[in-house]
Amino acid sequence: MRVFAGFIKRIAGAACLGLVGMAAPAQAEIPDELFAALGLERNAAPNVLYEAIVKRYRDPEQGYSKGAFADLWEPIAFSKYMSPGLFYEGPDLDFEVSARECVECHQGVTPGWVHSWEKSVHSDLDEIRSLTPADSRFYKQDLIKQVETNLVSMGLLDEGQQLEEVGCVDCHMGIGAEGGNHKTDLHMPDAGDCGQCHLQQFAERESERDTAIWPQGQWPDGRPSHALSMLANYETAIWAGMEEREVAEGCTMCHTAQNTCNSCHTRHEFSAVEARKPEACSTCHNGVDHPEFENFMMSKHGVVYTAHGDEWDWELPLKEAFEKGGQTGPTCQTCHFENDGEYGHNLVQKVRWGFQPMKSIADNLDHEWFEDRKEAWIATCSQCHSDRFARSYFEVIDNVTIDAVEKVEEARTVMQGLYDDKLLVGQTTNRPPPPEPSKDAAGGFYALFWAEGNNPSAIEYEFTEMWEQRLMSVFKGVAHANPGGFTYTNAWSQLLRQGIRIRDEDTRLRERAAMLERIRKLENPE
């Protein structure tokens, strides 16, 4: 069996003392799908690979744009920081600056930036070069060499030349720049800028576009993913159509991963330690529609992290966290960065239920595409659990989620019947259409961000909450092994409650319609 063989491979050579220790998986290879999509050989030179990736990354036809509904909305002032490549304009400060002057000036203007940068690896690469193998950060010496190899290939560094630091101008004006004009040369970096140095990680992240190709078209190609997260935001109909643009930017704030690596590696320290901790994910992966962080923290995994995380060596890379770093339980990164024993920045290679369980997924779980991904997940879980245990719990995950999807579909049938029969409150008298490009629907997603007259009606809002939030609460609770998270706490019980209310309202509205018809006939006998 592939999974069992993979497990044996992982633990071979690991120390045994009561329990088998976790072996250190290798660094991930860039998925083959990316090379195929770009028409490149795997041995492509760094400059060739980078140019191909960044060309696609910044292509307006492939996601670097305002999306399909661009004519319906305009950016606000804050938008320039969410999508700098599209909207950023530098401050009106027309003067020349040198690299060192940036630091000197900003020590007074924005000292927080400078303090963060001074704590970063970027500020002193020689400190890393001086480390001994006993230091947990020693592995970064190889990363620096990899960066220098990339830059030599791109013509940005001479052969044999060493980087001294990565300063303000390297990111904000261009790698190796001595300085420039603060008004015309300054730009806000995007992920493509980071990718010049961090090509491996950039390529891994961008490969999400090529590995999230759903067999029955459940999601658009490459989604859901970090790589196309902003496009997904811009092409959400109500986001583009709503008038309250500041509210809309609240959604945007959690869709910035496409545009910037800063979403996980906060500027200007860009800490790998920070990015390895669950809190790095929590800003976006929380709340009623995707409560991953809450469910992780309340699970046994989260308890182990809370109780013992301060004892772990977070400076070590993920692949060495258990064997050398004292880690005794998984984090978000342990499970979601790992695939087939390797760790990388493609987080969608094992995605099965996506970011919204739906009938078209539930009906196709026996398809090879879904089965292969389940096996990959079981291999991940089998690094700490037995294969048999992991398989038994995946039965729980899938069956609980299928049950929840069925409850939603039952309610959907009822709601669609009310809509088709024009029985919803105010449907024939007080139902303005939602803003374009949203289309009127029974419990459409727009109900969470727009309301006028009786659109949506109260029961429709209930249904929208049911399919968009409560269903996700059930799935995220069971997937993250938080017992209350998929039973009592805002999950299964509340899902049933919403179904009950919908059926009650269906009965009430239909009885009312029948009564009104009887009255009409009494008042207007034939």
pLDDT single digits (tens) 365-405: 999 999 999 999 999 999 999 999 999 999 999 999 999 99
Please give the pLDDT value at position 27: 54
Please give the pLDDT value at position 490: 87
- Pick out the chain residues at pLDDT < 70: 1-28
Question: What is the dihedral angle through the alpha carbons of 166, 169, 174, 177, rounded to the nearest 10 degrees?
Answer: -90
What residue type is 308 in one-letter code? H
Report cis status (omega within 30 of 0) of the bond before 106.
no
Instruction: Please tell me the pTM assigned to this model.
Output: 0.92
Read off the tokens for 32.
Answer: 């083959």
* Enclosing H/E stretch for 404: helix 387-420
Given 1.20.850.10, 3.30.70.1560, 1.10.287.80, 3.50.50.60, which CATH number is that of 388-523?
1.20.850.10
* SS3 sequence of 37-55: HHCCCCCCCHHHHHHHHHH
What residue type is 250 in one-letter code? G
Please give the pLDDT value at position 54: 98
Is 110:91 a contact under the CB 8 Å cutoff? no
Closest CA to 480 of 405, 396, 406: 396
Is 299:480 a contact under the CB 8 Å cutoff? yes
**Tens digits of per-residue pLDDT, 82-95?**
999 999 998 999 99
Please give the pLDDT value at position 526: 75
Closest CA to 249 of 63, 70, 77: 77
Angle at 489 between CA 393 and CA 291, to 5 degrees: 70
Please give the pLDDT value at position 489: 87
Could you give the CA distance from residue 75 to residue 89 in angstroms, rounded to a whole number? 12
Please give the pLDDT value at position 5: 38
Annotated binding site: 102, 105-106, 122, 168, 171-172, 182, 194, 197-198, 226, 251, 254-255, 261, 264-265, 268, 281, 284-285, 301, 332, 335-336, 345, 381, 384-385, 480
Annotated binding site for heme c: 102, 105-106, 122, 168, 171-172, 182, 194, 197-198, 226, 251, 254-255, 261, 264-265, 268, 281, 284-285, 301, 332, 335-336, 345, 381, 384-385, 480
